[in-house]
Structure 1
Amino acid sequence: MSTAPPPSARGTAPFGEHRTWYRVTGDLRSGRPPLVVAHGGPGSTHDYLLSLAALAESGHAVVHYDQLGNGGSTRLPDRGDDFWTVQLFLDELDNLLRHLGIADGYVLYGHSWGGMLAAKHASTAPPGLRGLVIANSPASYPLWLQEMKVLREQLPPDVDATLRRHEEAGTTDTDEYFAAMRVFYDKHVCRVLPWPRDFFASFMEIHHDPTVYHSMNGPTEFHVIGTLRDWSVEDCLAGIAVPTLLLSGRHDEATEATVRPFQEGIEGARWEIFEESSHVPHLEEPERFTAVMKDFLKEVERG
């Protein structure tokens, strides 16, 4: 079970014909902007980010939610690629902010794919956005794919050969592919072994219902063949005008080359690199992560 503090509220927000599941920790009316957490994937769940709920101790309520298609939100396993779009998830985020009554004041934390989503949201200059955290996110999938090639070349030759053999044959659902995939994941996604329960929970959620992940991403983090393979947010970064914190790990699959466009494109963005982390520093270096986040939230409050 998670060690996250218990929620102060849980529910679902109507979103067209569907529903978005959410969890609130703390008081949304505390006077301090709540932290809204957008998870990765696409097609993951909030579980692996649950430890962020402890930040509610700083007086900022924390809102987790499951994006449409996964977790506690409406599952739509029969929908095709044309349904799962970036705009769908931007609309879902806007809808949730309105439903919770926090659209006039909030901080947005986006992890991995969620960071790209958050950047796109922030680039539209929503009047209630007070601060932005882009965590372990690439600025573009083409850049991500270039860096995946670099990281894969550093794997043991037999591991990469196994991966490529199954990718070319379309047999990425086999045990042999999974075992080879774990070599990459244990090095560049989560270096805490065994994997923390919250992280494993999200991983298994994708495994049990990969509809969104396979449609938009592909079978793995490093074999991106889905609809997002050509997507980038680099062209909209100049529109972000709120305090922005960038987070990444020294061993991250989101390498420095994929994160650098955020620093170059967002005026005043601050970049913190976690030396002992890969893709989930909130689990790999939790004490430093908490300190960095609390400092940033204080900075946002100071305006």
Structure 2
Amino acid sequence: MFRPTAKGVAPFGEFRTWYRVTGELSPHRTALVVAHGGPGSTHDYLVSLAALSELGVPVVHYDQIGNGGSSHLPDAPADFWTVELFLAELDNLVRHLGIAGNYMLFGHSWGGLLVAKHASTAPAGLRGLVIADAPASYPLWLEQMAVLRARLPAGVNETLLRHEAAGTTDSDEYHAATRVFYDRHMCRLDPWPREYQASFFEMYNDPTVYSTMNGPSEFHVIGSLRDWGVTDCVAGITVPTLLISGRHDEATPETVRPYAELIPDVRWEIFENSSHVPHLEEPERFRDVLTEYVKAVAFG
């Protein structure tokens, strides 16, 4: 595993954003900033992207506010946690690191929507965009969750629905049933990689952001994001965009397709043996695909 060259904290108003850099930041080097999923997860499960620093591309990981090494705010009101907050945090981090004139973005899952929204404003220094395993909207996501849930083994979805109706989604039976879905559509490796488990443990230890904005599970989105999406703005993305998803992904082709149809300069790679984390499930092919893209953007 690649060790970070530097770690630090970016002041964000009265709060702080923890980050790590692998490689040397320079105005002449296109940096890759990695936005994790959740919302409310951590950078841990994406740390393998630090290997891209071997290309001469510095890689920045950060924990979004509310989790990991960044400020935890378990008592913040629900209306504190907004898309605008996380967009402002990303802008702030890019400026703090001095890379606003030359950077790429990689966003996974919720992070994919976040970076797409950021890119749609056409920042002058943005050179490229990777949207990985991300739906274009949560209404689309919920439509497809119903399809995937209906295909679960007999009795599983009935168990999930019963607990969701009763408000007992914190029960062991509900958690066991969610794992059936997760093993099919989130990560098909057995056991789950340690770095993936680490992000889950972090989110379990402080579920504030996830429960407020998403809900109790990946497929029961009842939080503030339930009606949100980026289909109205992604046509404004002007940089070369790499779109990634897995054949068994909870981000099904139907949820991803709007990016492919609306972004002017886009290429879509589907990983046939992956679900929601191709970088862990098919690491060699993922590395090849991302390396080719990063080289093209960073070095022409």
TM-score (norm: length of structure 2): 0.99
Structure 2 residue corresponding to 1:219, chosen from 216, 219, 223: 216
Give the deviation of 1:32 after TM superposition. Answer: 2.5
| Structure 1 runs, 4 residues or longer, greater than 6 Å off | none
Asked if the contact 1:44–1:203 (Cα under 8 Å) also holds between the matched residues in 2, the reply is yes
Question: Which amino acid in structure 2 is aligned with residue 117 of structure 1?
Answer: L
* Separation in structure 1 between the aligned mates of residue 51 and residue 169 of structure 2, nearest angstrom: 37
CA deviation vs aligned residue, 1:42-67 (integer Å, no higher than 9, x gap): 00000010111111111101100000
Match of 2:28 in 1: 31
Task: Determine if the alignment matches structure 1 residue 207 to structure 2 residue 208.
Answer: no
Asked whether 1:249 is paired with 2:246, we answer yes
Deviation at 1:223, TM superposition (A): 0.4
Cα deviation for residue 31 of structure 1 reads 3.0
Do residues 178 (structure 1) and 144 (structure 2) align? no
The equivalent of 1:71 in structure 2 is: 68
Q: Indicate which of 6, 10, 21 corresponds to 1:13.
A: 10
Secondary structure (helix, strand or coil) at the match of 1:186 reads helix
Q: State the Cα RMSD in Å.
A: 0.9
- Residue aligning to 2:125: 128
Match of 1:156 in 2: 153
Q: Which of 53, 56, 61 is the aligned partner of 1:59?
A: 56
Name the aligned partner's letter for residue 77 of structure 1: P
Q: Distance in 2 between matches of 1:35 and 1:220?
A: 29
- Is 1:114 aligned to 2:81, yes or no? no
Which one of the candidate residues 266, 269, 282 is aligned to 1:285? Answer: 282
Letter of the aligned partner of 2:89 in structure 1?
E
| Residue of structure 1 in register with 2:261 after alignment | 264
Aligned to 2:99: 102
* Letter of the 1:194 counterpart: P
User: Displacement of 1:301 after TM fit?
Assistant: 2.9
Partners of 1:302 and 1:260 in 2: CA distance? 28
Please give the per-residue CA displacement for 1:134-188, whole angstroms capped at 9, x wherever unaligned: 0000000000000000000000121111111111111111111111100000000
Q: Provide the rounded CA distance (Å) in 2 between the counterparts of 1:301 and 1:59.
A: 9
Report if aligned partners of 1:124, 1:239 keep a CA contact under 8 Å in 2. Answer: yes
Distance 2:148 2:179 in 1: 14
Shift of 1:30: 7.7
Secondary structure at the counterpart of residue 155 of structure 2 = helix
What stretches of structure 1 of length at least 5 have no aligned partner?
A: none
Equivalent residues in 2 for 1:88-99, closer than 5 Å:
88-99=85-96
Counterparts of 2:87 and 2:104, CA distance in 1: 15
Question: Is 1:273 matched with 2:270?
Answer: yes
Separation in 1 of the partners of 2:175 and 2:50? 31
Q: Which residue of 2 aligns with 1:82?
A: 79
TM superposition score normalised by structure 1: 0.98
- Distance in 2, matches of 1:81 and 1:22, equals 25
Query: What secondary structure does 1:78 align onto?
Result: coil
Aligned partner letter, 2:107? G
SS at match of 1:194: coil
| C-alpha separation in 2, matches of 1:157 and 1:234 | 34
Q: CA-to-partner distance for each residue in 1:84-112, whole Å, 9 max, x for gaps?
A: 00000000000000110001000100000
Contact 1:109 1:118 in 2 (8 A): yes
Count of matched residue pairs? 300
Residue 128 of structure 1, CA deviation: 0.6
